[in-house]
Chains A and B, each alone.
Chain A
Amino acid sequence: MTEPLSFEKSRESLPGPRLPAAGLPGVDPAQVIPRARLRRNRPHLPRLSEPEVMRHFTRLAAMNYSISKNFYPLGSCTMKYNPVTNEVAASLPGFAYLHPYQPEETVQGALELMWDLERALCEIVGVDRMCLQPAAGAHGEWTGLRMIQAFHEDRGEDRSEVIVPDSAHGTNPASAALCGFKVVEVRSDAGGRVSLPDLESKLSPRTAALMLTNPNTLGLFEKEILEVADLVHSVGAKLYYDGANLNALMGICRPGDMGFDVVHLNLHKTFTTPHGGGGPGAGPVGVMKDLEQFLPRPTLERENGHFKLDFERPRSIGRVRSFYGNFGMLVRALTYILAMGADGLSQASEDAVLSANYLRTRLEGALEFPHDGPCKHEFVASARNLTAQGIHATDLAKGLLERGFYAPTIYFPLIVPEAVMVEPTETESKATLDAFTEAVLEIVQLAQTDPERLQAEPTSLPVGRLDEVAAARHPVLRWRPPAQD
């Protein structure tokens, strides 16, 4: 089952949709705009009727795996159920139809919502202030690093290095490099945590910050975090928290209490705003008091019960995006926090840890586990035990697709060969986890008995394995109308 491109279904004789008529004498563009600046040829957009449009996208929708369909164990991405309540809330006309340049007195409810969200997030992670502007986690990382950079510059210190663990998300070194920092890698020890001796050897007066995820990308809690924080602070550097894995810790412990100075969150992970096929997300970034003056502009302030945006922030690093961030995502996140409350959030994290450890226990023996448990909200296994049969992590992933599951994150973190990173989240039942286990066991069995069959999977999806090498060698990144060839 494949679906032609909308362009290939276009019917050239089809008139456009009925739209509001001007109701006024028409103005010819050529009379009011110099002719040379006008478009001569219409763009090639498809001409389809509404039923054709709906059918096209309904068919495309059916070719997607989604959380609403089944388990989505993509490690590091926190694919948990996205409550439909969130969607209803964000589409309320009192939110969806607000213009960002409306007078402040007409948007007090929106500002109050952002205020409430900022306060709640500060409480959950233990920081003093939060900026809601960043559009995604990586955007928040960059924003946080810029604030750290401004902090050091303000003190007249030239600190050019950011330390990142070898197990870090790729966005960490990328964000640091795009802030002009040199990236220094710190090794993980045999237990899968930051090696303290190696960290000590890399810390220096040049260090601006250490970026850390906790639990780390192996799903392990950095149990020496207090020592790490002391070491980092002792050279005058800041400790940065990558909030990708906060789903393990809500109501259990807080990055701020661990000694982190800057914290970014991914509302599309921990706070159930949908992943939307790749976004939009939201990546609020929080800071301790001494970094507050560097927050992006505007900040949100409250005076005599009235909420106002404060643009007069002379030490601010400036704006990181237009307007006030992905407001629609902020509505969803606050809706989730209200529904969950203090009791629900800690329950969610506890259940996430429970799910991950249960699944880890069930899979022992089927895959290799390079690091000892317990894990937190996710774990990293290795498919190295299957390579003797010519089976790799990617084959395990495709086998899971064939059996109605999405695949875990594979080949990440880079320090584990044949990595298989599984994050079950709190929203999956024991029955689902058991069914997933059965599927993995079946695949591991097949790897022994009929590896070739496994390598040919998936066979039941719209397409089989695609040639990614050819796609990258000779990229075809768009459809072209036949005449233009």
Chain B
Amino acid sequence: MLAEMGIETLEPLLADIPARLRLRRLNLADGLSEAETMARVRQLAGRNSAFEDRLTFRGGGVYRRFIPAAVPAVTSKSEFYTAYTPYQPEASQGWLQATFEFQTMIAELTAMDVSNASLYDGATAVAEAAAMAVVQTGRDRVLVAGYLHPEYLEVLTTYARGRKFHVLQKLPRAGVVDPDELGEPLDQTVAAVIFQQPNFLGLVEDAQALTEAAHQAGALAVACVDPVNLALLQPPGEYGADIAVGEGQQLGLTPSYGGPHLGFIACRSELVRRLPGRLVGESQDARGRRGFVLTLQAREQHIRRDKATSNICTNHALCALAATVYLSYMGPDGLRDVAQTSLTRSHHLERRLAGLRGFRPAFPEAAFVNEFPVRVEGGEGLLARLQEVGILGGLPVGRWFPELEGVLVFCCTELNDAAAIETLVEACNG
């Protein structure tokens, strides 16, 4: 190759780099063979202890759920994972169609008109929704009603500082928000009321009333929802939410120490041109064959530059594919079974724990689906004891909410079988 360029070494190609910048060599070890590389990586993996599925009773936004073998079988196809954003539609119809199916599924689950092709995670999805509301209403404050995931709130606050809007939070007394409590902070300067359904503690909010309160103040209602529990709970589109967002990790993705997961965002059709990120639409070729393309791209950074709706470019397409395969496998009945079984088991566990000395439901009046807060005497000691027998117990939430010191949020999914629940209850009773 050098000869065809008429040079003898690579040096002429690097000559425009100032000599004082040239490096002799990086201060890193030399490369390893595949066997040695994997030995080192396995050694690192071996220094972690993952808890068993059935003995993990901790959620907090990341859940151990059954992943059908079909999901990794599809996402590990190199035709999917070694492609990039489908800029050339004729050579990327598989990706585009799968994304169109994903958009439809999210729209169906949330009962909203339109979904985008994915965002990074639930936290940034909340932040993007808030930014949409700020632009749409021309107002510069957003109100977080109740127990939103504390890390989502933190990311929202970080984004707000950069994007020049303010975040207010109203924490309820009774675990869930009484819409009348919102009164004072919710005025004509609020762009959006943001709530999580079920909330971070697992409790079911009166989403309809919160949405109405938002609309009365001329604000948008932003619902942060759990896609599996949407099989049981009223979807945001039915109670009139303007934007629905959430985290899709439960739809076929492993916890992976927190990522990569799947942010989703859906909205009413009037807001579609304010959506961040990629959108896939249907079209036709000259012979009338249906095909799919990236569309409404003038919203995006590569065209609109400093006036784009968001700076997002790379998204979480492969995670969205996992969710699409998961939902195709489950269908409406399978998804409902998953949610129903989780609900049954959680309510069983809650009743069993409530019968133990030193355990009492933190908010006994509030409804929950598959995650619930329990006030536990000596909670930290309990967690250490559980860990010794291989159980990852409830999530201590006092670290974020001082008023909830001593509260553990327990979670059950379809993987925590009845025997595992008994093991947990016995260990708690010990």
One digit per residue, 1 when the CB lies within 8 angstroms of any chain A CB and 0 when it does not, for chain B 60-101 equals 111010101010111011111111111111111111011011
- Give the residues from 185 to 235 in chain B that come closer than 8 angstroms, CB to CB, to chain A: 204, 206-208, 230-235
Given contacts A54-B70, A68-B79, contact A476 B311 (CB under 8 A): no
CA distance A268 to B85 in the complex (A): 12
**Distance in Å from the Cβ of B348 to the closest Cβ of chain A?**
5
CA distance A252 to B19 in the complex (A): 11
Whether B313 contacts A138 by the Cβ 8 Å rule is yes
Whether B37 contacts A170 by the Cβ 8 Å rule is no
Q: Which of B33, B289, B303 has the most CB of A within 10 A?
A: B289
**Distance in Å from the Cβ of B334 to the closest Cβ of chain A?**
4
Whether A254 contacts B23 by the Cβ 8 Å rule is yes
Whether B101 contacts A6 by the Cβ 8 Å rule is yes
Whether B17 contacts A252 by the Cβ 8 Å rule is yes
One digit per residue, 1 when the CB lies within 8 angstroms of any chain B CB and 0 when it does not, for chain A 422-436 equals 000000001000000
Whether A463 contacts B93 by the Cβ 8 Å rule is yes
**Distance in Å from the Cβ of A128 to the closest Cβ of chain B?**
14
Which residue of A69, A124, A472, A479 is within 8 Å of B100 (Cβ)?
A479
Given contacts A325-B259, A339-B32, contact A180 B163 (CB under 8 A): yes
Contacts of A95 in B (CB 8 A): 45, 48, 256-257
Whether B40 contacts A338 by the Cβ 8 Å rule is yes
Whether A109 contacts B46 by the Cβ 8 Å rule is yes
Whether B155 contacts A280 by the Cβ 8 Å rule is no
Q: Which of A55-63, A381-389, A439-447 contacts B (4 or more CB under 8 A)?
A: A55-63
**Distance in Å from the Cβ of B161 to the closest Cβ of chain A?**
7
Whether A62 contacts B94 by the Cβ 8 Å rule is yes
Contacts of A21 in B (CB 8 A): 341
Chain B, Cβ-Cβ closest to A30: B232
CA distance A42 to B88 in the complex (A): 36
One digit per residue, 1 when the CB lies within 8 angstroms of any chain B CB and 0 when it does not, for chain A 324-352 equals 11111101001101111111111000100
Chain A, Cβ-Cβ closest to B97: A60
Contacts of B171 in A (CB 8 A): none
Given contacts A176-B306, A338-B32, contact A19 B47 (CB under 8 A): no
Whether A258 contacts B161 by the Cβ 8 Å rule is no
Chain A, Cβ-Cβ closest to B419: A23
Whether A85 contacts B30 by the Cβ 8 Å rule is no
Q: Which of A34, A340, A463, A472 has the most CB of B within 10 A?
A: A463
Is A274 close to B, CB under 8 A? yes
CA distance A272 to B119 in the complex (A): 21
CA distance A82 to B78 in the complex (A): 9
Given contacts A278-B278, A346-B26, contact A43 B230 (CB under 8 A): yes
Q: Which of A106, A170, A338, A466 has the most CB of B within 10 A?
A: A466
Chain B, Cβ-Cβ closest to A404: B91
Whether A341 contacts B314 by the Cβ 8 Å rule is no
Chain B, Cβ-Cβ closest to A345: B26
Chain B, Cβ-Cβ closest to A463: B291
Whether B78 contacts A68 by the Cβ 8 Å rule is yes
One digit per residue, 1 when the CB lies within 8 angstroms of any chain B CB and 0 when it does not, for chain A 261-277 equals 00000101000001111
CA distance A327 to B121 in the complex (A): 13
Which residue of A24, A32, A82, A171 is within 8 Å of B313 (Cβ)?
A171
Whether A27 contacts B343 by the Cβ 8 Å rule is yes
Whether B13 contacts A354 by the Cβ 8 Å rule is yes
Interface range, B side: 35 or more
Given contacts A29-B232, A38-B233, A178-B163, contact A276 B47 (CB under 8 A): no
Whether A109 contacts B45 by the Cβ 8 Å rule is yes
Is A289 close to B, CB under 8 A? no
Whether A69 contacts B79 by the Cβ 8 Å rule is yes
**Distance in Å from the Cβ of B203 to the closest Cβ of chain A?**
10
Whether B37 contacts A85 by the Cβ 8 Å rule is yes
Is A374 close to B, CB under 8 A? yes
Chain B, Cβ-Cβ closest to A162: B306
Which residue of A17, A139, A149, A462 is within 8 Å of B68 (Cβ)?
A17
Which residue of A57, A176, A478 is within 8 Å of B98 (Cβ)?
A57
One digit per residue, 1 when the CB lies within 8 angstroms of any chain B CB and 0 when it does not, for chain A 14-58 equals 111101111111110100111011111011111110100110111
CA distance A62 to B72 in the complex (A): 17
Contacts of B118 in A (CB 8 A): 278-279
Whether B301 contacts A170 by the Cβ 8 Å rule is yes
Whether A277 contacts B44 by the Cβ 8 Å rule is no
Given contacts A5-B101, A397-B88, contact A321 B14 (CB under 8 A): no
Contacts of A324 in B (CB 8 A): 257-259
One digit per residue, 1 when the CB lies within 8 angstroms of any chain B CB and 0 when it does not, for chain A 394-436 equals 0001100100001101001000000000000000001000000
Contacts of A368 in B (CB 8 A): none
Whether B70 contacts A170 by the Cβ 8 Å rule is no
Whether B256 contacts A171 by the Cβ 8 Å rule is no
Whether A39 contacts B233 by the Cβ 8 Å rule is yes
Whether B4 contacts A135 by the Cβ 8 Å rule is no
Contacts of A354 in B (CB 8 A): 1-2, 10, 13
**Distance in Å from the Cβ of B123 to the closest Cβ of chain A?**
4
**Distance in Å from the Cβ of A75 to the closest Cβ of chain B?**
11
Whether A106 contacts B48 by the Cβ 8 Å rule is yes
Whether A327 contacts B259 by the Cβ 8 Å rule is yes
Whether B84 contacts A275 by the Cβ 8 Å rule is yes
**Distance in Å from the Cβ of B295 to the closest Cβ of chain A?**
5
Which residue of B38, B100, B149, B230 is within 8 Å of A89 (Cβ)?
B38
**Distance in Å from the Cβ of A219 to the closest Cβ of chain B?**
11
Q: Which of A200-208, A233-241, A355-363 contacts B (4 or more CB under 8 A)?
A: A355-363
Chain A, Cβ-Cβ closest to B256: A328
Is A131 close to B, CB under 8 A? no
Contacts of B82 in A (CB 8 A): 66-68, 82, 274-275
Q: Which of B34, B259, B287, B300 has the most CB of A within 10 A?
A: B259
Is B16 close to A, CB under 8 A? yes
Is B260 close to A, CB under 8 A? yes
One digit per residue, 1 when the CB lies within 8 angstroms of any chain A CB and 0 when it does not, for chain B 282-310 equals 11111101111101111011111111101
Whether B258 contacts A323 by the Cβ 8 Å rule is yes
**Distance in Å from the Cβ of B400 to the closest Cβ of chain A?**
11
- Give the residues from 136 to 188 in chain B that come closer than 8 angstroms, CB to CB, to chain A: 149, 151-152, 154-155, 157-159, 161-164
Which residue of B26, B88, B121, B344 is within 8 Å of A321 (Cβ)?
B121
Is B250 close to A, CB under 8 A? no
Q: Which of B256, B292, B338, B418 has the most CB of A within 10 A?
A: B256
Chain B, Cβ-Cβ closest to A56: B328
Whether B31 contacts A472 by the Cβ 8 Å rule is no
Chain A, Cβ-Cβ closest to B29: A341
Given contacts A109-B45, A174-B301, contact A24 B151 (CB under 8 A): no
CA distance A103 to B121 in the complex (A): 22
Contacts of A277 in B (CB 8 A): 80-81, 83-86, 95, 317-318, 321
Contacts of B64 in A (CB 8 A): 97, 99
Q: List 19 A-B contacts (CB under 8 A).
A: A25-B348, A37-B204, A43-B109, A57-B74, A89-B41, A91-B254, A108-B47, A124-B28, A278-B84, A279-B118, A317-B158, A339-B31, A341-B30, A357-B5, A401-B90, A463-B289, A467-B284, A472-B295, A479-B100
- Additional A-B contact list (9), CB under 8 Å, known A20-B417, A26-B344, A463-B89: A16-B333, A22-B340, A92-B45, A108-B47, A175-B311, A277-B80, A297-B154, A345-B26, A463-B291
The 10 A-B residue pairs with the shortest CB-CB distance in the complex, in nearest-first order: A323-B258, A109-B47, A94-B45, A16-B333, A341-B31, A276-B318, A100-B258, A278-B317, A68-B78, A318-B158
